[in-house]
Structure 1
């Protein structure tokens, strides 16, 4: 129990530190979200009075007349109530509305692609490492080269080949805008068609890292005493592979998977930019361009919670999978 209590205390402190940085870092950037919003208002022919500016400051939670520490505690209080503020870049929508609309797109695209790349990479890595020296080792150089290719370049190559030249997949977007959104097969098939190519880019570019890491761990694990003992007992190779070697070799990969799974919520900014995919990555770029403090803080908050939550779950599972972790701690 002390092991789990320490883990929970550590992540609680990490969450508080992340929330504090989430508040102060955007305010260190040049510019002001109120000025951005009022400039848009004036472009549409509106007049700005001191009372109008004061009202927008209160609305966006950037009261310039209030001390920074008071704003900080107000920010924490609003978070406790679930109030993330109003977005400047998509005004008058709230940050919660923007996140709810874009988060599902990112989770479905990057989440599924990340899980697939992990499962494929770890599975192939376990098999290649178990049969090291065989023809399967020839898979490693190809996947390593693909992992070393700049991500945006690989995405552009896929767009050129599969979208522009072969016309197999749509060029950009998340779905056919002429369709009505809903849980119907026509819309779902359109989202699958639009999301296949960016998902393929993510899988191809990241599977090599999982494969190489798992393969090296399998080679190291294969020389352990308990593997030799299992062979001496006459256990089948398949059982030794799955129950003994792979179970221990996958532990370092699980830690890396937790981090990558946490960053799924943030999406892949490059992916969504190249393919014009309507996820959180595009909203993050939009919020930075418009000095949208509230939306930036909301997105970073979701990223923080996802990363810490994923790492906490894996840490707790780590203690269950490997009892030695609890003993050392």
Structure 2
């Protein structure tokens, strides 16, 4: 019980630290979200008096009459109420609405691609590690090279080859704009078709790391004494590989799965921008370009909570799977 309480306490402190950084970092950037909004209104032919500017400052949480500490306290209170303010880049929509529209796209894209690359990497790593020294080992360097390739470069290469040259997949967007959004077969098919190429980019970039890690753990596990005992009992090779070797070799990969979500999400920001995918990554870049503090904070908070939550869940599950971790200091 002490182990679980300590883990939960650690992640609560990490969440508070992330919230604090989430508040201060955007305010260290040059510019002001109110100035951006005022410029947009003036471009449309409108005039803004001081009273209107004051109202927008209060609305966007950029009131200069409050100290930074007062803004910080107000920010924490708003976060607890689920109020992230109004978005400048999508004005007058609220941040929660903007995130609610774009988050499902990223969850499906990043979530499915990460699960596919994780499962594929573990499967290939199991086979390659079990048959170490065979021609299958030649697969490892190729996948490792692909894992080292920057996201944006791989995305551009795939877009040029599979979209512009071969016309197998659409180049831009998350769905056919002529369709109406909804849970119907035509729209879902279009969304899957448009999301295949961005997902393929994430899978190709991620699968190599899982394959290499699983392969090395399989080689180490095979040399254990209990593997020799299993062979001495006359068990089938397939059963030994799956139930004895792979089951134990996969533990470090499972522990690292949640940690990898943060890197995949950061990479998806670039991937979504290359393919103009309507996910959180595209919204985050728009927020940075428009000094949209509220939207930046909301997106960072969602990503932070998702990564911390996944890590906490894996840590708790790992403590159940491997009781030895609960006794470590």
Which TM-score band (shorter chain)?
over 0.9
With over 3 angstroms needed to count, the CA separation of the structure-2 counterparts of 1:208 and 1:267, relative to structure 1, is closer
What pairs up with 1:223-238 in 2 under 5 angstroms? Answer: 223-238=223-238
What pairs up with 1:103-118 in 2 under 5 angstroms? Answer: 103-118=103-118
Q: How much does 1:267 deviate?
A: 6.5
- Contact 1:267-1:279 at 8 Å conserved across structures: no
Separation in structure 1 between the aligned mates of residue 153 and residue 263 of structure 2, nearest angstrom: 21
What pairs up with 1:22-61 in 2 under 5 angstroms? Answer: 22-61=22-61
- Contact 1:263-1:307 at 8 Å conserved across structures: no
- Contact 2:202-2:264 at 8 Å conserved across structures: no
Q: How much does 1:242 deviate?
A: 2.1
Alignment correspondent of 2:71:
71
Alignment correspondent of 2:154:
154
- Contact 1:262-1:310 at 8 Å conserved across structures: no
Q: Deviations over 1:48-82 (max 9, x none)?
A: 22211110111011111111111111111111111
SS where residue 314 of structure 2 aligns?
helix
Q: What is the TM-score with the length of structure 1 in the denominator?
A: 0.96
- Contact 1:266-1:280 at 8 Å conserved across structures: no
Separation in structure 1 between the aligned mates of residue 230 and residue 264 of structure 2, nearest angstrom: 38
Separation in structure 1 between the aligned mates of residue 13 and residue 294 of structure 2, nearest angstrom: 23
Deviates more, 1:317-326 or 1:227-236: 227-236
Q: How much does 1:263 deviate?
A: 5.6
SS where residue 183 of structure 2 aligns?
coil
Q: How much does 1:328 deviate?
A: 1.5
Separation in structure 1 between the aligned mates of residue 300 and residue 266 of structure 2, nearest angstrom: 8
Separation in structure 2 between the aligned mates of residue 278 and residue 267 of structure 1, nearest angstrom: 15
What pairs up with 1:1-329 in 2 under 5 angstroms? Answer: 1-262=1-262, 268-329=268-329
- Contact 1:18-1:304 at 8 Å conserved across structures: yes
Number of residue pairs the alignment of both structures matches? 329
Q: What is the TM-score with the length of structure 2 in the denominator?
A: 0.96
Separation in structure 1 between the aligned mates of residue 247 and residue 32 of structure 2, nearest angstrom: 52
Deviates more, 1:261-270 or 1:33-42: 261-270
Q: Deviations over 1:263-293 (max 9, x none)?
A: 6666701111111101000001000000000
- Contact 1:99-1:299 at 8 Å conserved across structures: yes
Separation in structure 2 between the aligned mates of residue 249 and residue 118 of structure 1, nearest angstrom: 14
Q: CA RMSD in A?
A: 1.4
- Contact 2:221-2:248 at 8 Å conserved across structures: yes
Unaligned runs of 5+ in 2: none
